[in-house]
Structure 1
Amino acid sequence: MIKIIVTDGIDKEGLESLASHNGFKLYVTEDSKELLKELPDADALLVRSKTKVNQELISQGKKLRFVGRAGVGVDNIDVETATKKGIVVANVPGGNTISAAEHTFALLLALARNVPQSDASVRKGVWKREKFIGSELLGKSLGLLGFGRIGREVAKRALAFGMKVFAYDPFISEANMKASSVQAGSLEALLKECDYISLHLPITDETKKIINQKTIALMKPDARLINCARGELIDETSLISALELKKIKGAALDVFTKEPLENSPFFGLENVILTPHLGASTEEAQIKVAKELSDSVKEFFEKGLIRNAVNVPSLDIENLEKVSPYIALAENLGKFIFQIAKGGIEEIKITFSGDFSSAVSHLLAITVVRGVLSSAIGKAEVNWVNALPIAKERGIRVEEIAVSEVEDYTNLMTVQVKTALQKRSVSGSILTKGIPRIVRIDDLPVDVIPSGHLLVLTNLDRPGVVGFIGTLLGQNQINIAEFQVGRRSQGGEAVSILNIDSPVSQEVIKKIGEFSGITSVCVVNLT
């Protein structure tokens, strides 16, 4: 009998297929002490966002093999610890798309017509129509920061209302947006020109606090801001100040840096609408994600198949261990190429040289695409099931090529991407003892461990470059673990890759880029 613990009020109707199954026993609890008591002999744990599946909790699950998240984000789950324990972590990507898009548009309408404020006024016995004069949406401009699944659905609704829709997403081609009747634009242009700004970005180093004092200053005085994505996208202190000083017309927020929201300065502002993270909170969405999660549980325990996992691919468990070193390498090659390429990716070509079966090479190709996309839209949003459909949705062509012979290496994976600006490539292999290595960058030979923080430079092979970089990093307390240089010929084009122990500031990157002979510099994060 498989014991499954269910917490956080996951929809009962959606779990019916598990509850009625003779091979499964469901234990439903909302109490943290009961949860810890029941965990030692549990096989699976199903949660929403409330329960924190941390290291302490995972250590109590002696038999735990599966943790399921009824939703998209896995911020409340210690995925790294679960992976080390051999526990599969699965989510339900896409199940909340329509609900999140509709809530975004509900907040947009509420902002336009002052719905919450006028409701509160009437309830107080105050009938002042002139105080709550609204604004039509027809002809107004909506700027979407992020054009993934939810952003596209919001765009459809805005277009139906006669709005002009613009989008900023550096990872989606202009042609792809145009096909949806949406005009591509820069971040600065959207902030300056649009009447409404709606956030639909994942949290990355680049997007964290993308709405801040500087970007708010670009917005029009009558602009309105909506966020149903992630609270960390906004510097809340800067937004509160802007609302207090009426630098923008208003804001509607469903997500916050810290939840639940308590004793917040937002509470005293009339020009902000607040909802308690309701984006996915519809009956339909809750049933849908619970049903999809139930299907994943049944497939895992009955057939040994893994679906929608965020830490292992969809493969039968027996063969997973055999290819796991190549899976890790493939994902890191995808992440690496994404971070060194300039411009939105239009094409990904993966070449397998050596002894790769067609099934394994296809899985690895999907893993490469997952690595590329996870860097763009967030790891929780993309898995081995939806990676190729998302790539197609974003107008990215994916090609797999098999070559039987390979020089120097038993097996070699090469990933080439084409953007509107350039072509870049990276090759990797598994060396002795299962150690992964990046062995080529743009056909230049290197020997790099694909992990941690990397500093990647292209430069002319001339004296002084290595010394300058080493001195500058040392002055900024950045330790170099490894320093690799690959060159085409003496005095010609070269690539330098440094494994470093800590991130590099933008100021240091700027100084490196200004040094004579260095043609490009970028930081790659493979943590």
Structure 2
Amino acid sequence: MKKILVADKLSSAGTDLLSEKYEVVVKTGLSEDEIINIIDDFDALLVRSQTQVTPKIIDAANKLKVIGRAGVGIDNIDLDSATEKGIIVVNAPSANTISAAEHAFGLMLATARNIPQGNESLKHGKWERSNLMGAELYGKTLGLVGLGRIGAEVAKRALAFEMKVLAHDPFVSDDRAASLGVELANIEDIFSRSDFISLHTALVEQTKGIVNEKLLAKSKDNLIIINAARGPLINSKDLINAIDSNKIKAAAIDVFDQEPAIDDPLTKVDQIVVTPHLGASTIEAQDRAAIVVAEEVDSVLSGGAARYATNLPMMNEEDLAYTGEYAGAAMLAASVANQISQGVVKEVKIDFNGQISHRDCSILRAAILAGIYYQVHDVPVTIVNAEKVAEQHGLKINEIANVDESSYVSSVGVTLITDDATNQVVSTISGNDLRIIQVNKYTVDFSAKQSSNMLIIKNNDEPGAIGEIGTILGKLGININSMYVSPGVDNSAMMVVGIDRILDTKEVEEILKLKQFIHFVEQADISVFN
């Protein structure tokens, strides 16, 4: 049974889901060294924001296939190290969308109406109504820096309060903004025209310190800034100076450069409302994040595709949902083709057949390359780093989209060309089962669920061949789990036999002694696909 290490406190909604299929070990508060000492036993690692998944941890994780972050940001995971080692990193990008949007909007209301100050004043026996005059949101302009999932939800709430909403986001089209009732503008216009600004952009090198002295100098007087995204988006010193000089009115901050932010200068300014990174701290968000990341980890460990992989090519969610179901079949076809091919692989031809041919098949291409290399490379190869490995080997790749559907809705064909031979394997899915449906020119029907190993025999299409081969396998003590005999082609036939173990060289030679029947014998270990 595969093992999963949960290194941070996670909602039981997620761990209960995983416990149905895997051995889940919960050990929180571990140091880097403590994780290094045990991580080699685990197939998956789940964290929130506390545990730092460092290069040293990843280097020690020789079985690890997936790292799950129960939340949005992956700042605490060394993505480059994980990618280099072929480990998929998944997160739950939409899990806290509503909670974060509501918190940002709550901070805006609290700051505009001096709610925290009023609470503190009254609890100290003061009645200071005249000193706590606030401002309405109605009729004001809200500027959003970032119009992704959370920014869009904040926009909806602002429009409900009858605010005008501006947004700066270079990745959002005019049509998308218009559909949200939002006007796109450059960031300088956002600051010069807005009464409130809320930050909802990712933290990358280009956005670090994006709110700085130069931009604040262009701001509208009495501006209120909300940051419930990432602390380093704001130059803290410049923000404090702008408040002290009365250039802007106030701010509300939920995130900081360093956390816990016990002595952060931002927490010492009366005009700044602060909360201890509570954006995602709701019961609903935590349950949602745990369930989403658990489903992602389960999908990866089961040989499927991850919807929210952070170190894979970006794909349309609809395409990924459809083609991702065929990722295991694609990898199976490539693995079998590679194992039955002699010589050095020079070229791979990929056929996307049926309905998947209309889709973005990037995930299937990566799965095929992983299937070729995962058993033969000196470092772990998965869909994460397979493209890079193929490039390093100078592999030539040709893709063909065949829209015509056969008896299967969709299938994936992999043809490997080596310096010695050419072999084709075609696979598909049937429910949760991966099936091989063609080997070279022979139509077969082999279920990966039924056997851990495939024995592929090309033989004369004549009476007695099947009996002779079955007799030899019986004498060798080989248990036959399944058998499919392909219809004859050019006076030859193909047997695809599911067996309980791989034959050694001497056992293969015993079968080859049937020279009057046998053309060739090949085998493939498919235990990873069971």
Partner of 2:28: 29
User: Among 349, 359, 376, which residue is 1:362 paired with?
Assistant: 359
Deviations 1:150-174 (A, max 9, x none): 1110011011111111112222222
Distance 1:80 1:112, change over 3 A: same
Relative to the length of structure 1, the TM-score reads: 0.60
Partner of 2:327: 316
Which runs of no fewer than 5 residues in structure 2 stay unpaired? 314-323, 335-348, 366-382, 384-395, 401-417, 420-530
2 CA distance for matches of 1:311 and 1:86? 10
Partner of 2:193: 193
What SS does structure 2 have at the residue aligned with 1:258?
A: coil
State the Cα distance separating 1:140 from its structure 2 match: 0.9
What SS does structure 2 have at the residue aligned with 1:45?
A: strand
For residues 78-89 of structure 1, what are the structure 2 equivalents within 5 Å?
78-89=78-89
What SS does structure 1 have at the residue aligned with 2:273?
A: strand
What SS does structure 2 have at the residue aligned with 1:147?
A: coil
Partner of 2:245: 245
Partner of 1:183: 183
State the Cα distance separating 1:268 from its structure 2 match: 2.3
What SS does structure 1 have at the residue aligned with 2:5?
A: strand
Partner of 1:42: 42
1:11–1:286 CA contact under 8 A, matched in 2: yes
Distance 1:366 1:36, change over 3 A: closer
1 CA distance for matches of 2:363 and 2:170? 21
2 CA distance for matches of 1:121 and 1:24? 52
State the Cα distance separating 1:118 from its structure 2 match: 1.4
Distance 1:410 1:137, change over 3 A: closer
What SS does structure 2 have at the residue aligned with 1:357?
A: strand
Percent pairwise identity: 43
Partner of 1:260: 260
1 CA distance for matches of 2:110 and 2:219? 20
1:111–1:273 CA contact under 8 A, matched in 2: yes
Partner of 2:140: 140
2 CA distance for matches of 1:366 and 1:143? 37
2 CA distance for matches of 1:152 and 1:169? 11
2 CA distance for matches of 1:271 and 1:73? 28
Task: Give the greater-gyration-radius structure (CA).
Answer: 2
For residues 267-278 of structure 1, what are the structure 2 equivalents within 5 Å?
267-278=267-278
The yes-or-no answer on 1:99 pairing with 2:94 is: no
Deviations 1:329-364 (A, max 9, x none): xxxxxxxxxxxxxxxxxxxxxxxxx97636478345
What SS does structure 2 have at the residue aligned with 1:29?
A: coil
2 CA distance for matches of 1:59 and 1:116? 47
State the Cα distance separating 1:317 from its structure 2 match: 5.5
1:138–1:161 CA contact under 8 A, matched in 2: yes
Distance 1:186 1:290, change over 3 A: same
Distance 1:122 1:72, change over 3 A: same
State the Cα distance separating 1:94 from its structure 2 match: 1.0
Aligned length: 346
What SS does structure 2 have at the residue aligned with 1:144?
A: strand
State the Cα distance separating 1:10 from its structure 2 match: 1.1
State the Cα distance separating 1:34 from its structure 2 match: 4.6
State the Cα distance separating 1:104 from its structure 2 match: 0.6
2 CA distance for matches of 1:23 and 1:268? 47
Q: Which amino acid aligns with 1:150?
A: I
2 CA distance for matches of 1:142 and 1:366? 39
Partner of 1:225: 225
Deviations 1:86-143 (A, max 9, x none): 2221111211111110011010001111111111112222221111111111111111
State the Cα distance separating 1:411 from its structure 2 match: 4.9
Distance 1:312 1:410, change over 3 A: closer
1 CA distance for matches of 2:98 and 2:178? 21
What SS does structure 2 have at the residue aligned with 1:14?
A: helix
1:18–1:26 CA contact under 8 A, matched in 2: no
Partner of 2:77: 77
1:14–1:286 CA contact under 8 A, matched in 2: no
Which runs of no fewer than 5 residues in structure 1 stay unpaired? 324-353, 369-383, 385-408, 414-431, 434-527
The yes-or-no answer on 1:287 pairing with 2:322 is: no
Distance 1:83 1:190, change over 3 A: closer
Deviations 1:381-421 (A, max 9, x none): xxx9xxxxxxxxxxxxxxxxxxxxxxxx98599xxxxxxxx
What SS does structure 2 have at the residue aligned with 1:206?
A: coil
State the Cα distance separating 1:251 from its structure 2 match: 0.4
Partner of 2:6: 6
State the Cα distance separating 1:257 from its structure 2 match: 2.0
2:15–2:24 CA contact under 8 A, matched in 1: no
Distance 1:411 1:136, change over 3 A: same
For residues 117-516 of structure 1, what are the structure 2 equivalents within 5 Å?
117-312=117-312, 314=324, 316=327, 319=330, 357=352, 359=356, 362-364=359-361, 411=398
1 CA distance for matches of 2:398 and 2:35? 46
State the Cα distance separating 1:145 from its structure 2 match: 1.2
Q: Which amino acid aligns with 2:352?
A: S
What SS does structure 2 have at the residue aligned with 1:225?
A: strand
1 CA distance for matches of 2:184 and 2:91? 31
What SS does structure 2 have at the residue aligned with 1:316?
A: helix
Q: Which amino acid aligns with 1:45?
A: L
RMSD of the alignment, in Å?
3.0
